[in-house]
Amino acid sequence: MYKTYSMELAGRTLSVDIGRVGAQANGCAFMHYGDTIVCSTIAASEKPRDGIDFFPLTVEYEEKMYSVGKIPGGFNKREGKASEHATLASRVIDRPMRPLFPKDYRNDVTLSNLIMSVDPDCNPDVVAMLGCSIATSISDVPFDGPIAATMVGLVDGKFCFNPTEAERLASDLALTVASTKDKVIMIEAGANEVPEDVMLDAIFQAHELNKQIIAWIQTIVDEVGKPKHSYEAHEVPADLYNDMVAFITPEAMEEAVFTDEKAVRDENIREITARLEERYADNEEWLPLVGEAVYLFQKKTVRKMILKDRKRPDGRRMDQIRPLHAEIDVLPRAHGSAMFTRGQTQIIDACTLAPLSEAQKIDGLDRTVTQKRYMHHYNFPSWSVGETKPSRGPGRREIGHGALAERALLPMIPSTEEFPYAIRCVSETMESNGSTSMASTCASCMALMAAGVPIKSMVGGISVGLVTGETEDDFVLLTDIQGLEDFFGDMDFKVTGTHKGITAIQMDIKIHGLTESIIRGAIARARDARLYIMDEVMSKAIAEPRPEISKWAPKIVSITIDPTKIGDVIGKQGKVINKIIEDTGVQIDIEDDGSVAVCGTDMAMIRKAIRTIEAIVNDVEPGQVFRGRVVTIIPSRAFVELVPGKEGGVHISKISKRRIEKIEDELKVGDEVVVKVLEVDKMGRINLSIKDVTKEDLEKLQ
């Protein structure tokens, strides 16, 4: 037997079956929202993993193609590596769930979400997050939940909650808010320059709806929830900590961390660690815990410096940004490039332009998004933080950072009608000491402008940190957090935007939620900082998009033809279009609606290809001039191919201004000639002239 629990949520029924499937997992929630079905489970190991000093949580989001009636592509015809969307969905679920597990819990935990049926009007991401919350809350795994999540759209100035497919397509906002019963614990947003006050209103309205969902989940937990199991606590022994503090002294630790040079700080900590390892060399119980003890000592020292002494480790004011530098054209052969430096965080971004055929094709569950023409990729080599390890390709962090910068800039990318290019930005991390994703946003914006992409507005970004005390009103906000403040602080609140409003938000926290005053303060701080960065630094490197694209970039010219004439341009087995490509060296992309994009590096060849296409689809008229090829010669006439599929005849009297006896004295098959159309007779025959071509006619062909 199983039980079903239901509630009305945003005009649709949300329900969960408990005990229907997944009986051997620690907890399982079989979720229904409209026709969307997600099976969410939690599984935990019986014993902690040896030799680790972190909570080993894994979140999986498994997209099954049968959920939308598709067979997977590829040779194997089965689901393979997680898509980018699945990776991002896993990260969004991880962020609000992780802080609510015990900090010293060392058992392996996996949250799995099986996407089994997808209703386009009921987004499976939020269903999976609710499923994880329910499964974990009713399980025996220690968890300080439940949480709830709501998506918010903004259509015609009005909020819509858990928007339908049509609403998502029309929305200026894609906001996800996760909450506990008291506080907001996660914010993720993409927005079309939404003002700060509107964004705040959306966040807090979503929080109120989350409270209703949590109350419903709590009734389920009260009825079927399992008792939480005990676990082996992992804490630094008080005797070890006290001995370490007395030996090192708080003053020495504060001196060790008080520097704006990451390498100097790291060396100071290595020296302290070495002294402690020597001190405890004969203590088999304490020696393995030295690293964890030093980390705790650092954390308490940094938090005390910030919260009580109002002193940041590098000496900055709480609202002060690190030294900034921006420049463009650092890579001479890239179509656009820029470097953005903020303290010891440095990004070089390269922008590449290509035909629309190079847009990324997406094979996923979303039927409305099948490709994207703007791509942002982020790379983080180990040497950027002074470490050495082999590169294994982009991981979840790299994918997430790239997606955040992409989301930040996407609203500013011009339409294909305005700028018919596929665009790729790649952010290479040269040095990292906090918030490289925000540096990537700034560098990418400048690289786009340097490449001549007519973006609508400049975009900047910054991260705001937090250190909290014992009470809700005891906290300090930190503008532009460096790595140490991120590691030992409570929040990483990233906000990007233009002068008009916000384009993206990503909030990570390590505590059990944020109060309204913290959220309002962080968004206000972020606005002040990004305006300063754009006005005082980025604008001085490049204030607006260049009027022309790089000489190294392909040139693209678009025209529109009658869709019924597409077959004429392509020709039988592609012979016509391939001949045009062979003759001009361009790339031609034709869409079903008749839009044609001609791409190449030589504008003369692009113009030639366009003239050829237009001649194919349009009727030949007297006065037109063509550069054609002689294909046949008979005694009185030479036939010239004007464009593939169209020929005209030149009478012997129209070849030269002087009298000639034989056409072969002037022309031979294969010769390229410029001809002018004299007439198209009633039979559709095209009569041409070579001798009547004027200097002005030749100029038209340039």
Distance CA 608, CA 658 (A): 30
Q: Which are the contacts of 79, defined by CB distance < 8 A and separation ≥ 6?
A: 62, 63, 64, 65, 72
Distance CA 588, CA 609 (A): 9
Residue 153: other Cβ atoms inside 10 A: 21
- Evaluate whether the domain defined by 554-618 bears CATH number 3.30.1370.10: yes
Instruction: For the chain, give every residue range classified as CATH 3.30.230.70.
Output: 3-151+194-224, 324-541
For 621-702, which CATH superfamily applies? Answer: Nucleic acid-binding proteins (2.40.50.140)
Please calculate the CA angle 305-306-308 and round it to the nearest 5 degrees. 70
Helices (H), 360-450: 396-409, 436-450
Question: What pTM was estimated for this model as a whole?
Answer: 0.88
Among 141, 127, 151, CA closest to 36? 127
Q: What is the pLDDT of residues 575-618, one digit of tens each?
A: 889 989 998 999 999 988 998 989 998 888 998 899 889 888 88
Which pLDDT band holds residue 180 (cuts at 50, 70, 90)? very high
> Is a pLDDT exceeding 80 seen at residue 369?
no
95 to each of 64, 492, 508, 613, how far by Cα in Å? 23, 11, 6, 53
Q: What is the pLDDT of residues 92-119, one digit of tens each?
A: 999 999 999 999 999 999 999 999 999 9
Q: What is the pLDDT of residues 41-88, one digit of tens each?
A: 999 999 999 888 899 999 999 999 999 999 988 788 898 889 999 999
Q: Write out the two tokens for 149.
A: 């999540």
Element (H or E) spanning 700, and its range?
Answer: helix 695-700
DSSP one-letter string for 5-36: EEEEETTEEEEEEESSS-TTSSEEEEEEETTE
In one letter, which amino acid is 579? K
Q: With pLDDT > 70 as the criterion, what percentage of the chain qualifies?
A: 100
3-class state of residue 629 by DSSP: strand
Instruction: For the chain, give every residue range classified as CATH 3.30.1370.10.
Output: 554-618
> Is a pLDDT exceeding 80 seen at residue 324?
yes
Q: Write out the two tokens for 700.
A: 């038209």
Q: Which are the contacts of 520, defined by CB distance < 8 A and separation ≥ 6?
A: 200
Which pLDDT band holds residue 514 (cuts at 50, 70, 90)? very high
Distance CA 523, CA 495 (A): 7
What pLDDT shows up at residue 303?
A: 95
Instruction: For the chain, give every residue range classified as CATH 1.10.10.
Output: 238-307
Q: What is the pLDDT of residues 185-203, one digit of tens each?
A: 999 999 999 999 999 999 9
What pLDDT shows up at residue 318?
A: 96
CB of 626 within 8 A of CB of 642? Answer: yes
- Evaluate whether the domain defined by 324-541 bears CATH number 3.40.50.2300: no
Read off the DSSP letter of residue 618.
S
Distance CA 162, CA 167 (A): 9
Bond preceding residue 146 cis, omega within 30 of 0: yes
Buried b (16+ CB within 10 A) or exposed e, 378-410: bbbeeebbeeeeeeeebeeebbbbbbbbbbbbb
Average pLDDT in the chain: 94
- Evaluate whether the domain defined by 238-307 bears CATH number 3.30.420: no
3-class state of residue 318 by DSSP: coil
Rounded to an integer, the average pLDDT of 458-480 is: 96
> Is a pLDDT exceeding 80 seen at residue 364?
no
The dihedral through the CA atoms of 294, 297, 300, 304 has a sign that is negative
Per mean pLDDT, which range of 126-140, 364-378, 576-590 is the poorest? 364-378
Rounded to an integer, the average pLDDT of 159-165 is: 97
Distance CA 658, CA 655 (A): 9
Rounded to an integer, the average pLDDT of 309-319 is: 93
Q: What is the pLDDT of residues 136-152, one digit of tens each?
A: 999 999 999 999 999 99
> Is a pLDDT exceeding 80 seen at residue 637?
yes
Distance CA 134, CA 138 (A): 6
Q: What is the dihedral of CA 184, 190, 196, 201, to 10 degrees?
A: -50
Buried b (16+ CB within 10 A) or exposed e, 474-488: ebbbbbbbbbbbbeb
What pLDDT shows up at residue 463?
A: 97
Residue 174: other Cβ atoms inside 10 A: 19
Who has greater pLDDT, 98 or 417? 98
Residue 671: other Cβ atoms inside 10 A: 14
What phi and psi, each to the nearest 5 degrees, are found at residue 229? -80, 155
What pLDDT shows up at residue 699?
A: 82
Among 157, 181, 185, CA closest to 170? 157
3-class state of residue 231 by DSSP: coil
CATH of domain 3-151+194-224: 3.30.230.70
CB of 165 within 8 A of CB of 123? Answer: no
3-class state of residue 227 by DSSP: coil
- According to DSSP, the β-strands at 36-48 and 107-117 are antiparallel
What pLDDT shows up at residue 506?
A: 97
Q: Write out the two tokens for 701.
A: 């062909």
